[in-house]
Amino acid sequence: MSDTSNLTPGTGVNSADASERADVIVVGAGPGGSTMAAYLADAGLDVLLLEKTRFPREKVCGDGLTPRAVKELDLLGIPTPESEGWIRNKGLRLVGRGMRLQVDWPEASGFPTYGLVRTRQDFDDILARHAVSKGARLLQGVNVTEPLREGSQVVGVRAKLLGEDGRATGDTATYRAPLVVAADGNSSRLALAVGREKREDRPMGVAVRGYYTSPRTHDDYLESWLELPGRDEHGREVLLPGYGWIFGVGDGTSNVGLGILNTSKAFGRTDYREVLKRWVAQMPAEWTFTDETLVGDLRGAALPMGFNRTPHYADGLMLVGDSGGMVNPFNGEGIAYAMEAARLGSEVVANAFTRGRHDDAARERVLETYPKVMKDALGGYFTLGRHFATIIGNPQLMKLAVTYSLPREDLMKLVVRVMANLADPKGTSTTDRLYSALTRITPSA
């Protein structure tokens, strides 16, 4: 990708006045933030998209995109041709208890029948460029430090400006808007500043990954290993609740990583980088997953799941993506849900500004519908995922699930469809009807 340091139309990256204004400020140019900025700018709103780092930049991720994420890319208007580095895959290869089972992505209404792999260094850059092409003003090197408030209402943000080297320049800026969208990740400085703490009744995960040069760089399937060896509080070997992955990146490397849930008693007492190293050491030598072929460092990140921070809107601040805990508890997928929340949220925001352009109270009433929109879209499914996360936190149940489920291909096809959230709520298949029934009777997250 070429340099993106001057993506701000007409002015340049850090040329904001001390009190620059916009209709909407979006903090964080990850998948959720850039998607939101693109939709809102396309709707005619003046959008400031603030990003702390500079593109291209790396993020900890598996780099695998399910058909649900591909659908969001299609809706956004992002082309994904293989000739431009998008690596297609046919489905999941599940490995466990000495067995290997390949499950193709289902033919589900409204979803493509393929997934993709794209590194976050490229992926986020592409989405940010798309937002700019729609008219959003991207400012890079802007480290948002706190919300600007009038009473309880968030009316903008304050920021420190960073140089090309990522260090503070000593300059500061203030940006004002009737709405601020926090797409600033798991730690979400903005959400914390207004008192929206993480909910302890929601699962949390951790992911660790590295890139290895390997002949497995090309693969038609995303590979998931369902057995990750860990130790309990007594030092006995147990299965950790989570999975390992091997995703071919197509550039000579494979993304190899693991995701673990906090529903295990071993959570917080386990060195996950060491788990990853022990795991890859057991793999065939010809795959070359060794310290010598590791490109860069092993890196980790938190996975906030199941709406672990709420409310998703109040008093001028809207949460999108990881800031609102929008990661699937079934499989740790976050990109699809960040983009989906941005799409749904942008519809609410555009409607709010149409109805309340000259009426703050009318705009606020529409914005306050966003939490219900998200609950209706994902609440029941995320609640099911929370129960699933609790169940597999028991090492014995995890072992039984892998042992008795993996040999049953029809059952695993159902499991894959549910875990990747590819059922059609309005469909007539057995899987679709079961999905609809479960989400109807499950309280929203």
Please tell me the predicted confidence (pLDDT) of residue 43. 98
Output the pLDDT for position 6. Answer: 42
pLDDT confidence of residue 439: 67
Residues 299 and 284: their CA atoms lie apart, in Å, by 23
Inform me whether the pLDDT recorded for 19 exceeds 70.
no
The string of DSSP letters for 151-214 reads TTEEEEEEEEEE-TTSSEEEEEEEEE-SEEEE--TTT-HHHHHTT-PPPTTS-EEEEEEEEEE-
Place of tokens 């005619």: 44
Ramachandran area for residue 393 (φ above 0: left; ψ -120 to 50: alpha; else beta): alpha
pTM attached to this predicted model: 0.93
DSSP assignment of 297-363 equals EEEEEEEEBSS-S--SEETTEEE-GGGGT-B-TTT---HHHHHHHHHHHHHHHHHHHHH-TT-HHHH
The residue extents of the domains of the chain are 19-82+117-200+306-390
Dihedral sign for Cα atoms in the order 293, 297, 298, 302: negative
∠ at Cα 180 (174, 185), nearest 5°?
100
What's the pLDDT band for 263 if we cut at 50, 70, 90? confident
Is 19-82+117-200+306-390 a CATH 3.50.50.60 domain? yes
Give the position of tokens 């672990």.
308
pLDDT tens per residue across span 34-89: 999 999 999 999 999 999 999 999 899 999 999 999 999 999 999 999 999 999 99
Please state, in angstroms and as integers, the Cα–Cα distance from residue 138 to each residue in 7, 23, 37, 40, following that order: 6, 14, 9, 13
Kindly tell me if the per-residue pLDDT of 325 is higher than 90.
yes
Q: If you ran DSSP here, which 8-state letter would residue 294 be given?
A: E
* Inter-helix orientation angle 380-392/395-405, to 10°: 100
pLDDT value for 229 = 78
Q: What would the mean pLDDT of 304-310 be, rounded to a whole number? A: 96
> For 372-387, how does the pLDDT look when each residue is reduced to its tens digit (9 = 90+)?
999 999 999 999 999 9
Measured CA to CA, the distance from residue 197 to residue 192 in angstroms comes to 6
CA dihedral 12, 323, 113, 383 (to 10 degrees): -170
- Which DSSP letter does residue 86 get? P
